[in-house]
Amino acid sequence: MDTLIRVVNNTADEIRLGHKLWFYPVPGCHAISATANASGFTPLSAIVRRFDWDRQLIERAAHVCNRRNEVAILANLSPNLLLVPATKGRGEARRLAQDLFQAAGAINAERLHLTHYGFLQGKFPRDEIASVLDVFLSLGPNSSLAMLVVDIDRRGQKDFYDLLRPGGLPGA
């Protein structure tokens, strides 16, 4: 599986206000993965605006996703949308990342755009990202994924690359 790390340069207004306004999709991605937070000016809201999707549908799906605490597949959208419940620091990233990749496999996604870390607020989520990367790196040849695009906020770029260095990931 090829991996593209895409550094996202959020605007000064987005950073100052804490509102994600813009989303730039990666051409050719079959699915976009986003945190199920549709309230306000979130990355998911920016994605919805970019593709002109039905906001009420996305809000309902995000609510159900968070209530059930499992990944939701919206395969009727183009590209497909995979909603992942907000972890809120509960240490569920590994299980949810596994659920995400099972969902990507269920829709035979070959290229997945992971948007969860493209707009960071507060402390860099090192343990969560390490868990997610560990799941990515352990995917076997039976995965449908040929390419994974990972957005990372420019403000967390150094911390992210530190995770990729030898010894950066737990158990590496």
pLDDT digits (tens, 9 = 90+) for 95-109: 999 999 999 999 999
HSE value, Cβ hemisphere, 13 Å, CA-based, for 4: 16
Which H helix or E strand runs over 152? strand 147-153
pLDDT (mean) for 60-82 = 96
How far apart, in whole angstroms, are the C-alpha atoms of residue 124 and residue 1? 26
Token pair for 147: 């390419």
pLDDT at 172 over 70: no
Helix, strand, coil in percent for the chain, rounding step 5:
40, 20, 40
Q: What is the pTM of this model?
A: 0.92
Q: Per mean pLDDT, which range of 43-52, 62-71, 132-141 is the poorest?
A: 132-141
How far apart, in whole angstroms, are the C-alpha atoms of residue 53 and residue 48? 5
- For the chain, which domains are there? 2-164 (3.40.220.10)
Residue 146 phi, psi (nearest 5): -100, -25
